[in-house]
Amino acid sequence: MVSVEDNFPWPKNIVILGSTGSIGQSTLDVVRQFPDKFKIIGLAAGKNLSLLLHQIKEFNPPFVCVRSAQDAKELSWMLSGEKLRPKILWDDEGYCEIASLPEAHMVVSALVGAAGLIPTVHAIRAGKDIALANKETLVIAGDLVVAEVDRTGVRLLPVDSEHNAIFQAMEGHRRVHVKRILLTASGGPFFKLTREELAKVTPEQALKHPNWSMGKKITVDSATLMNKGLELIEAHWLFRLPPEMITIYIHPESIIHSMVEYVDGSIIAHLAVPDMRIPIAYALSYPDRLPLRVPVLNLFEIGHLTFFPPDEEKFPCLRLAKEVCRKKGTLPIVLNAANEIAVDAFLAGRIGFLDIPEVIEYIMSEHERMNGNISASDFDTVLQVDSWARRETSEYIVRRQSNMS
Ligand SMILES: NC(=O)c1ccc[n+]([C@@H]2O[C@H](COP(=O)([O-])OP(=O)(O)OC[C@H]3O[C@@H](n4cnc5c(N)ncnc54)[C@H](OP(=O)(O)O)[C@@H]3O)[C@@H](O)[C@H]2O)c1
């Protein structure tokens, strides 16, 4: 049978935003396995210049991007003994330029946090297909982003394993027949702890995810269940279903990556070993499938799979994310920004694990009290609300600390 993509002029030109992160490195591993299929034409990193240098030497991209003019100077110096001479871009403008390169066919959006929004929007506006890992893009500006996707007709292909699973389980089926999405969650490392035990957990413990190896922010989000809340909002925008049609199942084995239930009682699930290269490869090659070298799923070895309902009292971040998904307006921006600041403060030992939802809830209530929950009609407003919430959260954490000392 002839595939839709047989006429595609392989290799596909790829730009990775966040190449030095966990998703970025897994994406490069997929590219490494299929050099005839993919060509790296742009790598955008943050501060990890030594890893970026290795990546430049291996993949020889014509464009790279770093965070500041100073970092660009340093990278240029690091490359001075090399034959390779990529054009080095920097700062917000650089990320947007690399995301819109005329030669690019696809942009992998894998920066972490709200920093991913504007470069991803530039890529969409430039007509690039998006492999979306940066869930915060949809969390904080879902309506605006979806409108840009509709206007430009680009493909928004989910990389998050759950959304990639749902996307696969919906392929070939009619949306009107979907009864609900069953979004699975590992439950993180603290799923079985009591609230008293949760009060004492350390950043080191929170960074030890039982099944997945990921960046620090998403690993802490998995432990608080905020990650699942953000994913619920992401699923709401990606699949255009109301939050009431998305049910969360704690599934500690992380083998079923999510399921879709249809009106006739059928449930279609996607199963695979927990390895991000699988959803990444599917997004990169869609609608083809690549003979990926990854560990094979052995169900005899696994034996049985378990499922539990989430406990929103023990993990209030999930309740807060559901609330903002229902209320919409600017609250999701505030939730996300407050969470980013609170997670950083937890990792720095400045607040405890249970303070994370408490801080977020306080900033959400302050936002409703002071600003009201009007909706953001453009991306500038999204960024303004994001800055407000970051500032308020940082100041609140400082006030809490000084009250305690
Ligand atoms: N990791 C996973 O398995 C996974 C699964 C599903 C979804 N996701 C989502 O994918 C995104 C990336 O996650 P990750 O785990 O790969 O994160 P990560 O390991 O922390 O990597 C983040 C990347 O973004 C760069 N970066 C961070 N802050 C930046 C800023 N302000 N400006 C420019 N670049 C910046 C980092 O650069 P440096 O390191 O060079 O500083 C790095 O390349 C997140 O939205 C996450 O929720 C991740």
Ligand 1 neighbour 229 (Cβ under 6 A): no
3-state secondary structure of 140: helix
Domain boundary among 103, 126, 159: 159
Q: Are residues 149 and 257 in the same domain?
A: no
What pLDDT, on the 0 to 100 scale, is given for residue 404? 81
Could you give the CA distance from residue 34 to residue 160 in angstroms, rounded to a whole number? Answer: 21
Q: Which residue carries 């292909």 as its tokens?
A: 157
Atom of ligand 1 nearest to the CA of 217: 20
Could you give the CA distance from residue 324 to residue 281 in angstroms, rounded to a whole number? Answer: 32
Look at ligand 1, atom 42, and give the residue with the nearest C-alpha: 21
Token code pair at residue 89: 């871009």
Average pLDDT over residues 256-268: 98
Q: Are residues 146 and 167 in the same domain?
A: no
Ligand 1 geometric centre to CA of 110 (Å)? 5
Could you give the CA distance from residue 72 to residue 362 in angstroms, rounded to a whole number? Answer: 39
Q: Return the DSSP state at 324.
A: H
What amino acid occupies position 262?
Y
Partner residues linked to 182 by β-bridges: 247, 259
Token code pair at residue 339: 């969470």
* pLDDT for residue 3 is more than 80: no
What percent of the chain stands above pLDDT 90?
93
Q: Which residue carries 């609300």 as its tokens?
A: 385
What pLDDT, on the 0 to 100 scale, is given for residue 6? 60
CA 10 to chain centre: 27
Per-residue pLDDT tens over the stretch 291-324: 999 999 999 999 999 999 999 999 999 999 999 9
Contact 360, 338 (CB under 8 A): yes
* pLDDT for residue 105 is more than 70: yes
User: Which CATH number characterizes residue 124's domain?
Assistant: 3.40.50.720
Average pLDDT over residues 106-115: 98
Domain boundary among 131, 159, 187: 159
User: Which CATH number characterizes residue 394's domain?
Assistant: 1.10.1740.10
Contact 55, 43 (CB under 8 A): yes
Domain boundary among 137, 159, 181: 159
Residues 6+ apart with CB under 8 A from 322: 229, 232, 243, 312
Could you give the CA distance from residue 21 to residue 215 in angstroms, rounded to a whole number? Answer: 7
Q: Are residues 10 and 125 in the same domain?
A: yes
* pLDDT for residue 2 is more than 50: no
Q: Which helix H or strand E contains 284, and what residues bound it?
A: helix 277-285
Ligand 1 geometric centre to CA of 44 (Å)? 11
Look at ligand 1, atom 29, and give the residue with the nearest C-alpha: 46
Residue 280 belongs to a domain:
no
Average pLDDT over residues 238-257: 98
Per-residue pLDDT tens over the stretch 201-219: 999 999 998 888 999 999 9
Atom of ligand 1 nearest to the CA of 23: 16
Token code pair at residue 38: 């993919």
Per-residue pLDDT tens over the stretch 44-78: 999 999 999 999 999 999 999 999 999 999 999 99
Q: Are residues 151 and 16 in the same domain?
A: yes
Ligand 1 neighbour 228 (Cβ under 6 A): no
Contact 229, 286 (CB under 8 A): no
Residue 323 belongs to a domain:
no
Per-residue pLDDT tens over the stretch 268-297: 999 999 999 999 999 999 999 999 999 999
What pLDDT, on the 0 to 100 scale, is given for residue 1? 44
Residue 250 belongs to a domain:
yes
What pLDDT, on the 0 to 100 scale, is given for residue 403? 87
Partner residues linked to 129 by β-bridges: 106
Confidence of residue 5 (pLDDT cuts 50, 70, 90): low
What pLDDT, on the 0 to 100 scale, is given for residue 76? 97
Token code pair at residue 261: 């239930």
What pLDDT, on the 0 to 100 scale, is given for residue 381? 97
What pLDDT, on the 0 to 100 scale, is given for residue 8? 80
* pLDDT for residue 220 is more than 50: yes
Ligand 1 geometric centre to CA of 268 (Å)? 30
* pLDDT for residue 374 is more than 90: no
Ligand 1 geometric centre to CA of 267 (Å)? 32
Confidence of residue 25 (pLDDT cuts 50, 70, 90): very high
Contact 371, 388 (CB under 8 A): yes
Look at ligand 1, atom 3, and give the residue with the nearest C-alpha: 214
Q: What is the pTM of this model?
A: 0.96
Q: Count how many domains the chain has.
A: 3
Ligand 1 neighbour 111 (Cβ under 6 A): yes
Q: Are residues 267 and 233 in the same domain?
A: yes
What percent of the chain stands above pLDDT 70?
98
- Of 221, 219, 187, 212, nearest to 275 by C-alpha is 212
Confidence of residue 84 (pLDDT cuts 50, 70, 90): confident
Q: Are residues 336 and 389 in the same domain?
A: yes
Contact 404, 139 (CB under 8 A): no
- Of 90, 139, 105, nearest to 31 by C-alpha is 105
More confident call, 9 vs 240:
240
Task: Name the residue range of residue 209's domain.
Answer: 163-275+296-302
Strand order in the sheet with 12-17: 87-90, 63-66, 38-44, 12-17, 106-109, 129-132, 156-158
Average pLDDT, the chain: 96
